[in-house]
């Protein structure tokens, strides 16, 4: 199977849909002449022309709103949020218009819109440029929220996102744009609302999404080597809609679960995971579900502080040992 980077996978997804469907167009800051801050759309302007590859001013609310308007007219805009940190400026448009207009119009319009860009931190961008916004956008009915971590899912979920007649918040693992993975040729559309078992195991379930999935996979190896513990790793990849079934089935098998997220603990995705498990698999649990989250501080700059602010292998391993009663909690 051919390998491609996460970046190439996103590019392939968008380019294929643009070839297939004239109604697909791209908008965003520096996506055309410059080729995209992260070079995701490099070459697209020459290939598709300025009518379909629109360089915008730095005005997230304005261009996101215009994209929503285009979508309501039947176009399929894919908006690049240079980073999701800037989406606060567009939050009124995303939440008040994109998420709700279908409902308050009594079903008279659709908003086939994708907003994509890098989410999360890890590259020393400090406080204003480091957020994980899956819980914020996942909170609003009317939006779909996905967070692929493998190149295969990056492309396959992009295809699905563009074809979806609803607004999709597409959270990319920005720190992984250069990582490689296998991507089959042709249409590999990945259905939303289906979690992926990234590693099978029998003793404990590590549940995550985005770049923390890779962390969980490393921890699983470590647990295997050091403790002879078999950890299952679940990549949620779609946060709204959400796949409870895969988690619950896994916990019924392992009886223990750790939910890992880069974002802050309070009101986060991991809390939702823990709640679903206690509601649907309470009798199967041998230990309370433990959450591993980012530190409750704005993201710091210094490398050592930044590392301390995100979930680490040690923290996840410790949590796993805690639910396995191999380590007593502090």
Partner 1 sequence: MVPAESEHTGDGAVETQEQQQGGGSPVATDGEHLVDLYKKMVLIRTFEEATQRGFRQGKIGGYLHVYIGQEAVATGFLDAYKDGDKVITAYRDHPHVLLLGSDPKAVMAELYGKGTGLVKGKGGSMHLFDVENGFMGGYGIVGGHIPLGVGFAYAQRYEETDNITQLYLGDGSISNGAFHEAVNLSGLWGKDGMNPCLFIIENNQYGMGTSVERTTAMTDLAAKFNAYGVENEKVDGMDVEAVLEVAHRAADRVRETGKPYAVEALTYRTAPHGAADFFEKYRTKDEIKQWRERDPIGQLEHRLIERDVIDEDGIEEIKNEMKETMKEVVRFAEESEEPPLEELYTDVYTGGGVYTGEEG
CB of 268 to partner 1, least distance (A): 15
CB of 181 to partner 1, least distance (A): 27
Q: Compute the half-sphere exposure of residue 68: CA atoms within 13 Å on the CB side of its CA.
A: 23
CB of 275 to partner 1, least distance (A): 10
Closest-CA residue to 260 (of 285, 284, 240, 231): 231
Calpha distance 71→24 (Å, rounded): 10
CB closer to partner 1 out of 222 and 252 = 252
CB closer to partner 1 out of 213 and 239 = 239
| Max CA pair span of the chain | 61
Choose the catalytic residue: 16, 110, 129, 224. 129
**What CA–CA distances, in Å, run from 268 to 147, 148, 157, 208, 214?**
15, 18, 23, 12, 19
Cα Rg, the chain, nearest whole Å: 20
Calpha distance 105→201 (Å, rounded): 47
Choose the catalytic residue: 17, 29, 60, 172. 60
CB closer to partner 1 out of 208 and 214 = 208
Calpha distance 327→330 (Å, rounded): 9
CB of 320 to partner 1, least distance (A): 23
CB closer to partner 1 out of 215 and 276 = 276
Sites of contact with partner 1 (CB under 8 A): 25, 50-51, 56-57, 59, 61-75, 92-93, 96-97, 101-110, 141-142, 144, 164-166, 240-245, 276
**What CA–CA distances, in Å, run from 43 to 71, 118, 121, 173, 286?**
24, 19, 27, 22, 53
Calpha distance 167→155 (Å, rounded): 17
Calpha distance 242→273 (Å, rounded): 10
CB of 271 to partner 1, least distance (A): 14
Calpha distance 59→73 (Å, rounded): 21
129 catalytic? Reply is: yes
CB closer to partner 1 out of 1 and 73 = 73
Which residues are known catalytic residues? 60, 129
């Amino acid at each position: 199977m051919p390998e491609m980077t996460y970046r190439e996978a996103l590019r392939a997804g968008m380019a294929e849909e643009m070839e297939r469907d004239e109604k697909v167009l791209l908008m965003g800051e520096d996506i055309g002449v410059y080729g995209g801050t992260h070079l995701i759309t490099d070459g697209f302007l020459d290939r598709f022309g300025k009518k379909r590859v629109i360089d915008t001013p730095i005005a997230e609310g304005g261009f996101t709103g215009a994209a929503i308007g285009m979508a309501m007219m039947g176009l399929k805009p894919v908006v690049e949020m240079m980073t999701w940190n800037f989406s606060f400026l567009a939050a009124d448009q995303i939440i008040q218009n994109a998420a709700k207009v279908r409902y308050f119009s009594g079903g008279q319009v659709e908003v086939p819109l994708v907003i994509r860009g890098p989410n999360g931190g890890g590259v020393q961008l400090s406080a204003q440029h480091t957020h994980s916004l899956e819980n914020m956008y996942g909170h609003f009915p009317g939006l779909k929220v996905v967070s692929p971590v493998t190149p295969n899912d990056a492309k396959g979920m992009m295809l699905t996102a563009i074809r979806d007649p609803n607004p999709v918040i597409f959270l990319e693992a920005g720190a992984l744009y250069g990582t490689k993975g296998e991507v089959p040729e042709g249409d590999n559309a990945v259905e939303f609302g289906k979690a992926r078992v990234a590693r099978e195991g029998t003793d404990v379930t590590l549940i995550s999404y985005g770049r923390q999935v890779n962390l969980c996979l490393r921890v699983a190896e470590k647990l295997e080597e050091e403790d002879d513990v078999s950890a299952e790793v679940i990549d949620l990849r779609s946060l709204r809609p959400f796949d409870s079934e895969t988690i619950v089935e896994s916990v019924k098998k392992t009886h223990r679960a750790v939910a890992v997220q880069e974002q802050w603990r309070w009101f986060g995705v991991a809390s939702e995971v823990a709640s679903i498990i206690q509601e649907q698999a309470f009798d199967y649990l041998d230990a309370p579900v433990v959450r591993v989250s980012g530190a409750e501080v704005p993201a710091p700059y210094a490398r050592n502080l930044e590392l301390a602010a995100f979930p680490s292998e040690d923290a996840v391993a410790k949590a796993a040992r805690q639910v396995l009663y191999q380590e007593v909690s502090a």
